[in-house]
Amino acid sequence: MKIVVIGGAHAGLSAVNAFRQVNETDEVVILEKNLRERPFISAGIKLALNGRVTSAEQVNFEHFEGQPNTTYRSGVLIERVDAAAKKVYARTIDNGSIIEESYDKLIYALGSSARVPSFVGADLDRVVVFVKDEQDAVDINKFAKGFRKRALVYGGGPVSTELAAALAHSGVHVTFVTRSKRLMTRYFDQAIQEDLEKTLTDNKVVLRKGQEVVSVDNQGKKIEVNFNNGTSEVFDFMAIAAGLQPNTMLLAGQVDMRENGAIVVDDTMKSSNPDIYAIGDSAVVDGKFDQYFPLMSAALKMGRVAGYAVAGLDVKIQPILRTIGFSIFDRFFYKTGLTVEAAKERIGDHIERLDIHTPATIHALGEQTDIVASLIYDYESGIVYGAQISTNAPAAAEVITTLSHAVSSGLTVTELAFLDTYFESEINLPYSVANRLGEMGVIAEAKRAAGKAIDRDTVDGDDNLNGFQ
């Protein structure tokens, strides 16, 4: 058997490394456009701006160090995939020589590209940057240096939010523009959105919500940005993180895809063509949680599942809940599963959201930590479909892991209320906030059944003995 992997970044290398754990004999060929040995991830941009690393290129996970019966070809541009003939056609970037590779199994891992808004023109390359690859990291760090620089960040998702905070942390005056009425509408509901926006504005990030950039004029070393409300501002540079587009045109018409071009795969990463597997930003797993949210953690898992599946192991990926976590200005934000809007689209109108604001630790210890959390569930079945958290307590990462497990396992609010969790006096409180959220659901449904008003927003104090895992 011969396996061809097109795309040698994190997802592709994850697949190869998994495959080689159980199969060292079959031939593997990796075709990769970039010449760098270690794939780049955009998280390095934030860490470099915050001074956590000296260069964004230092941050990476998977890499290729040589494998038996494996050929790694970098500097190769894929031009065509013929699924019927089971062949990949490519050429080398340096001299244009043609490469033709036949395959028994193809692992498609060509990732995604940054969406380019209509206002971006060719004459703006010097002052408009995207947030995707290593050159973007170099440009952003270059533009951010200097006294009283002014930057516009355009987006509204986690990448643009982290970048806006990181630039502000480095001393840049930041205006954050999003087309939506609130930030991160695909990730958070109102309680966490409000906390997120307050965290940014408290740290001098200017928010322009519900606005669009209609044009950008080059002003020499600066740019003038014109908005749809008739106003304009001058900035030193603009950073754009307006979403990602899957790089799947090579398989157009040959496998099933979503409207956005993401290749539809099953829980083994197999596409509608049984000899083609798709992973990472190129694919979406079919199911109730099949939203297209490119994430590093999901890409690595998808790669491993594909690698093991091609090697013959009976493995299946668990629901990809798009569980994320990030921190800005010493506050942490987490999300797993569906928002209310997404749950209503996929499950039905019988969706409830409950919010809680509670201490995170025993305040007698002198640590004024807090946690805001939301639970999304089906009030007819009691099944939990999503959860969101904001907190200034780093250990809250354990909470979202617990809640992710609850969503993945299809737990009900009653089961969540009494799920076993741990207690450590300096970290949390005796009754986990995960348990507390489930208990709130139990109480809410008891009141609904009795025809009483439901408390959807709860504020707890220390005497409630609530906390988090």
Could you give the CA distance from residue 403 to residue 438 in angstroms, rounded to a whole number?
10
pLDDT tens figures, 394-441: 877 788 999 999 999 999 999 999 999 877 655 566 678 899 999 999
Mean pLDDT of the region 452-460: 91
| The pLDDT value given to residue 365 | 52
Asked if the model's pLDDT at residue 51 lies above 50, the reply is yes
Q: Which contacts of 201-206 are long-range, i.e. CB under 8 A and separated by 24 or more positions?
A: 202/329, 203/165, 203/168, 203/169, 203/328, 203/329, 204/168, 204/173, 204/174, 205/164, 205/165, 205/168, 205/174, 205/175, 205/176, 206/173, 206/174, 206/175, 206/176
For residue 389, give the H/E element and its range.
Answer: strand 384-391
pLDDT level of residue 467 (50, 70, 90 thresholds): very low
Residues 6+ apart with CB under 8 A from 239: 129, 130, 131, 140, 151, 152, 153, 154, 160, 163, 167
Q: Name the β-bridge partners of 30.
A: 5, 72
Location of structure tokens 């965290």 = 199
- The answer to whether 460 touches 373, Cβ cutoff 8 Å, is no
Location of structure tokens 């104090």 = 461
pLDDT tens figures, 206-234: 999 999 999 998 888 888 999 999 999 99
- The answer to whether 444 touches 454, Cβ cutoff 8 Å, is yes
| The pLDDT value given to residue 209 | 95
| The pLDDT value given to residue 128 | 66
| The pLDDT value given to residue 152 | 94
Location of structure tokens 């209609």 = 214
Asked if the model's pLDDT at residue 463 lies above 50, the reply is no
Could you give the CA distance from residue 389 to residue 396 in angstroms, rounded to a whole number?
8
pLDDT level of residue 292 (50, 70, 90 thresholds): confident
Q: Which of 333, 357, 344, 348 is nearest to 456 (CA)?
A: 357
pLDDT tens figures, 338-351: 999 999 999 999 99
Asked if the model's pLDDT at residue 326 lies above 50, the reply is yes
Residues 6+ apart with CB under 8 A from 415: 406, 438
Model pTM? Answer: 0.86
In angstroms, the Cα distances linking 172 to 168, 252, 286 are 5, 42, 42
Asked if the model's pLDDT at residue 61 lies above 80, the reply is no
pLDDT level of residue 466 (50, 70, 90 thresholds): very low
Pairing of strands 263-265, 206-209: unpaired
In angstroms, the Cα distances linking 456 to 245, 324, 357 are 37, 24, 11
φ/ψ of 237, rounded to 5, equals -160, 165
DSSP secondary structure of 145-195: -STT-EEEEEE-SHHHHHHHHHHHHTT-EEEEEESSSSTTTTT--HHHHHH
**What average pLDDT does the chain have?**
87
Residues 6+ apart with CB under 8 A from 291: 186, 284, 322, 338, 342
pLDDT level of residue 291 (50, 70, 90 thresholds): confident
DSSP secondary structure of 1-50: -EEEEE--SHHHHHHHHHHHHH-SSSEEEEE-S---SS---THHHHHHHT
- The answer to whether 326 touches 333, Cβ cutoff 8 Å, is yes
Mean pLDDT of the region 360-373: 71
- The answer to whether 328 touches 200, Cβ cutoff 8 Å, is yes
Asked if the model's pLDDT at residue 317 lies above 60, the reply is yes
| The pLDDT value given to residue 469 | 38
pLDDT level of residue 465 (50, 70, 90 thresholds): very low
pLDDT level of residue 359 (50, 70, 90 thresholds): confident
Q: 109 vs 322, which has greater pLDDT?
A: 109
- The answer to whether 389 touches 400, Cβ cutoff 8 Å, is yes
Q: Which of 204, 184, 203, 186 is nearest to 194 (CA)?
A: 184
For the chain, what percent of residues have pLDDT higher than 70? 84
Triad 219, 122, 141: Cα angle to 5°: 70
Span of 35-49, 80-94, 154-168, 314-328 with lowest mean pLDDT:
35-49
pLDDT tens figures, 233-248: 999 988 888 888 999 9
Residues 6+ apart with CB under 8 A from 466: 356, 358, 359, 429, 431, 433, 436, 460
Pairing of strands 76-82, 87-92: antiparallel
pLDDT level of residue 468 (50, 70, 90 thresholds): very low
